[in-house]
Amino acid sequence: MRRLNPAAILMLVPTHLLLLVVIALPSIYVFWLSLNESTYGSDLTFVGLDNYVTVLTSSYFWRAALNTLIVVNAVVYIELLIAIGMAALFLGGVRYPKIMFAIVLMPYAISEVVGVLVWKIMLNSGSGVLARTIESLGFGMFNWSVSPPLALSVVTLISIWHHLPFTFLLIYAGMLAIPKSLYEAARIDGATPWQEFWRITLPLTIPAILISLIFRFVFAFRLFSEVWLLTAGGPARLTEVLAVYLYQSGFKYGEFGTASATGWLMVIGSLGVASIYLWAMHRRMLKGND
């Protein structure tokens, strides 16, 4: 390990300059913005916590917060369960692994815009191939555009479709890292495949699961495009999520103050969620899990 010298400090400049100028300073400035009233072309007027009061008494905000909470939890946990199942399936052996991985990874390469477009068309009531299949099975009209719960379900579906490859890979890599000798020992001890999964694979994958949970919670919290492109928050702002609420107040209504307050509330929420999991991970490490 070498001591930091001027040349090394110079090499850190690009990364830290980008982070400082684009993320750190603006984030701090947003806090100042959130304490002021401001809109296009007007000067800032200090209003203290008024913006926070406005946001926290807005029913649209609470609706967005609730939607975010529901969708984020649904996305993260359903995705996690599917990913664990898939990883276990792959762990049991897969033919043509390169091709299978290539196929599994495909949704990762797709733009959210295109993902929404495809699913929207396939689920379009009366004409989409999936909607008609559902309807022909006798479930009635699949009219998600007028039903907020259905619309949010579609958002959840698309979001899971997009991000499953990511979660799957993290968990699969975690399972792959378990030494083969543990399974051999378990087999000698007479464990069935089912017991192997519950007693060896799953407990030893928990670190990977926690990491992917943090990643996914943090990312899911940013959910914007799927909702914006699918429903634009409608009908009647009933399907908005926090990022959409922020975008609307900032860029549609020009209320930078309330938008900033929303932003800070999002930051706090995001850090809160992440810190719970970081804390859980930290505790595991303290317990001497290596």
Out of 42, 111, 192, 195, the residue judged to bind other proteins by CB under 8 A: 111
Strand partners for 36? 46
CB of 235 to other proteins, least distance (A): 16
Contact between 89 and other proteins (CB under 8 A)? yes
Q: What angle do CA 170, 158, 263 make, to 5 degrees?
A: 80
Contact between 211 and other proteins (CB under 8 A)? yes
Residues in 165-184 at the binding interface with other proteins, rule: CB under 8 A: 165-166, 169-170, 173
CA distances 254 to 39, 215, 245, Å, are 5, 31, 12
Q: Please, what is the angle between helix 112-122 and helix 148-176, to 10°?
A: 120
User: Token digits for 162?
Assistant: 């997009």
Contact between 114 and other proteins (CB under 8 A)? yes
Out of 105, 150, 204, 280, the residue judged to bind other proteins by CB under 8 A: 105
Q: Which residues of 121-140 are buried (b: 16+ CB within 10 A; e: fewer)?
A: eebbbeebeebbeebeeeee
Contact between 69 and other proteins (CB under 8 A)? no
Contact between 225 and other proteins (CB under 8 A)? yes
Out of 69, 70, 110, 204, the residue judged to bind other proteins by CB under 8 A: 110
Of 42-50, 95-103, 138-146, 282-290, which segment contacts other proteins by CB under 8 A? 95-103
Out of 81, 129, 236, 285, the residue judged to bind other proteins by CB under 8 A: 129
CA pair distance 71, 233, nearest whole angstrom: 14
Out of 113, 185, 236, 276, the residue judged to bind other proteins by CB under 8 A: 113
Residue with smaller CB distance to other proteins, 8 or 49? 8
Q: Hey, what's the torsion of the CAs at 87, 90, 96, 97, to 10 degrees? A: 40
CB of 48 to other proteins, least distance (A): 18
CB of 266 to other proteins, least distance (A): 5
Contact between 52 and other proteins (CB under 8 A)? no
Q: How many Cβ atoms from other residues are within 10 Å of residue 9's Cβ?
A: 10
CB of 211 to other proteins, least distance (A): 5
Residues in 28-47 at the binding interface with other proteins, rule: CB under 8 A: 29-30, 33
User: Token digits for 81?
Assistant: 């369960």
| Sign of the alpha-carbon torsion through 137, 139, 140, 144 | negative
Contact between 119 and other proteins (CB under 8 A)? yes
What radius of gyration, in Å, describes the C-alpha atoms of the chain? 23
Out of 49, 53, 66, 102, the residue judged to bind other proteins by CB under 8 A: 102
Q: Are strands 45-46 and 36-37 parallel, antiparallel or unpaired?
A: antiparallel
